Structure 1
Amino acid sequence: MNEKTLFMLKKVLFYAFIFTVVAWIIIPLIVSALYAFSTKTDYYDPNKVIPTSFTSEWVKIILFTLGAWDGIKNSVIVALLTIAISFLLGVPAGYAIARYVFKGKDTIKLSIIALRMFPIPIMAIPLVVLYIKLHLVDTLLGVALAHTAMALPFVVLITSSIFASVDKELEEAAMVFGLTRFGAFKAITLPLALPGLAAAAMFTFVMSWNEVFVASVLTLKNRTLPAQTLSIVAGAAGGAAPAYYKFAAAFIMVLPAMLFIFFARKYLITMWGITLR
């Protein structure tokens, strides 16, 4: 096998791999979108793989009759609260890890990562008992605090890497010209780190948006969209939901997160550019 043939073979395998990955992601999205709007007749027609008749009835039922619209509003509130609390705690921690040398720094970083090693289900009962005592059961703040505990390690690690990529000499130069440490951070570091912080906010939003177990355990009435969707597909009309309801629920679940990522994608690309310098 000559060098040119080997190069072409590697190129074909590379593009085949890329195509497989893209198809793995895109095909479920296309299928859920198609069957979310398929009529009942087309859905159960064994001779049709792709529906040709469409209706918005199932999406409207999921949204307005079975309560998914309220779940969307609750999910947005919880996600925004999670971002706010995570950043309030995580950004100072990430900055300290990136800028200062102190005893036990590596241990702290390892401990932050170790927070993710405990499965949430084994902590469900103690968490519910604690929330009952704190009167946080069935509240959006309670769900946001639980999501913050899950997102905070990622926020700390991401922000620390972003701050580490910003030259320390820039802050020192600003302080030489009279700015305080906080002033230098606000005027120099924060604007340069803003794309990375936006990407961290995106990760936090998507994590909170998709989380279902904690929201299902801690809420009954004020449920987020994933928890509400779970209750819908498991108990619509007093029994298991029809399959086209499930596709409609999947479409409603995926669409807002995709829109959020679409508008925030430029910050993610910018963050990659900053951290790879």
Structure 2
Amino acid sequence: MSQPQQVEAAPQLPPIDRTPLRRRRRHAVGVQLACIAVTVFMALPIVLIGLAAVSSHDALNEFPKSLIPSGFSTDTLTSFFRATGTIQALGNSLLVGIYTVFWSLIIGAPAGYALARSAFRGKDIYQVFILLVRALPIVVLSVPLATMFLRLDVYDTVFAVTLVHTTLALPTTVLITASIFVAVPADLEEAARVFGCTRWQAARRVVVPLALPGLAASSIFTFVLSWNEILGATIVTLGHRTLPAQVLTTLDEASTPYRFAGGFALIIPALVFIFVMRRYLVNMWGTTLR
């Protein structure tokens, strides 16, 4: 009789090393915790200012103050907006912000396109030179600016503040738009020119639509910069100040409710503008620059 064949045992696999997976999970948890910490750090002042702005006068005068106010009221915000010059200053800030975004894109976007599509000697030095505009403090330029605006008869106007804010925003706009246009493939523009488009038509019909999310994101930075700028608006205006300049010049004699309401009023428009444009901002970092 034949001997039964012995079945060979299957080779044992080495144990699975789960250390890299655990390390990756710990890294992901650490990143999430860091994001939460940064979000809380940035959002907590906004939340506290918002709660103080909708608190009653008695709740603001309490000591010690509780995290959640004991009484809510719109009297604080109502008294702030009823104060002399507040509505006019709010309108001036909105106009200056919109005008600054418009002129920054009109002037800065073509400059960024030229930097993205043209190669010339000293290009890197030129980009550094653009940033030197931001290195000059507005205090140093205050006297020349005030003198020039007085001679041109534009002192204490929205136009004067727009000029100052556009000058401050142009370096950032030029460099951001240059990076946006670099991300748009030049082959698409060349293909459009092969099919009969001129350089201007190819840029308008092909490049600009693809770069629109980035341009919208650039407008966010420009608007927020213009909205938060105080010193320049204070120097070149007197009776037609923006809302930040108006609040700053009245802080010494303002009451506590006015200060909280003023801080809340300065935050809200910028947050609303970012909320409206957030889709373009996400698309810029998630699609256009990919």
Q: Which has the higher contact order (CA 8 A, sep 6+)?
A: 1
The answer (yes or no) to whether the contact 2:247–2:262 under 8 Å persists in 1 is yes
Whether 2:94 is the aligned partner of 1:107: answer no
State TM-score, norm by structure 1: 0.92
Superposed, 1:164-183 pairs within 5 Å as 164-183=182-201
For 2:35, the equivalent position in structure 1 comes to 18
Cα distance in 1, alignment partners of residues 26 and 79 from structure 2: 51
Amino acid aligned to 2:211: A
Q: 168-177 vs 66-75, which deviates more?
A: 66-75
Whether 2:271 is the aligned partner of 1:253: answer no
Whether 2:136 is the aligned partner of 1:123: answer no
Amino acid aligned to 1:115: V
Amino acid aligned to 1:210: N
Cα distance in 1, alignment partners of residues 74 and 23 from structure 2: 51
What is the deviation of 1:11? 4.5
Cα distance in 2, alignment partners of residues 105 and 7 from structure 1: 42
Superposed, 1:51-200 pairs within 5 Å as 51-200=69-218
Gapped runs of 5+ residues in structure 1?
none
Instruction: Say which SS state the counterpart of residue 69 (structure 2) adopts.
Output: coil
Counterpart pick for 1:40 among 29, 33, 57? 57
What is the deviation of 1:48? 4.2
Instruction: Say which SS state the counterpart of residue 136 (structure 1) adopts.
Output: coil
Instruction: Say which SS state the counterpart of residue 241 (structure 2) adopts.
Output: coil
What is the deviation of 1:231? 2.1
For 1:28, the equivalent position in structure 2 comes to 45
For 1:244, the equivalent position in structure 2 comes to 257
The answer (yes or no) to whether the contact 1:196–1:267 under 8 Å persists in 2 is yes
Counterpart pick for 1:268 among 266, 281, 290? 281
Amino acid aligned to 2:41: W
The percentage of counterpart residues that share the same residue type is 40
The CA deviation string for residues 37-77 of structure 1, in whole angstroms up to 9 with x for no partner, is 21121122225412121221221221122322211110111
What is the deviation of 1:126? 1.7
Amino acid aligned to 1:151: A
What is the deviation of 1:6? 5.1
Cα distance in 1, alignment partners of residues 114 and 22 from structure 2: 52
Q: 225-234 vs 189-198, which deviates more?
A: 225-234
The answer (yes or no) to whether the contact 1:165–1:274 under 8 Å persists in 2 is no
Structure with greater helix percent: 1
The CA deviation string for residues 3-57 of structure 1, in whole angstroms up to 9 with x for no partner, is 3765565445433322221111111111111111211211222254121212212
Cα distance in 2, alignment partners of residues 124 and 77 from structure 1: 22
Amino acid aligned to 1:206: V
- Larger radius of gyration, structure 1 or 2? 2
State TM-score, norm by structure 2: 0.88
Cα distance in 2, alignment partners of residues 127 and 86 from structure 1: 19
CA shift in 2, pair 1:185/1:7, >3 Å:
closer
Q: What is the total number of aligned residue pairs between the two structures?
A: 271
CA shift in 2, pair 1:22/1:182, >3 Å:
same
Instruction: Say which SS state the counterpart of residue 120 (structure 1) adopts.
Output: coil
CA shift in 2, pair 1:197/1:8, >3 Å:
closer
Cα distance in 1, alignment partners of residues 163 and 125 from structure 2: 24
The CA deviation string for residues 198-223 of structure 1, in whole angstroms up to 9 with x for no partner, is 11111111110110000011111111
The answer (yes or no) to whether the contact 1:43–1:244 under 8 Å persists in 2 is yes
Cα distance in 2, alignment partners of residues 181 and 79 from structure 1: 31
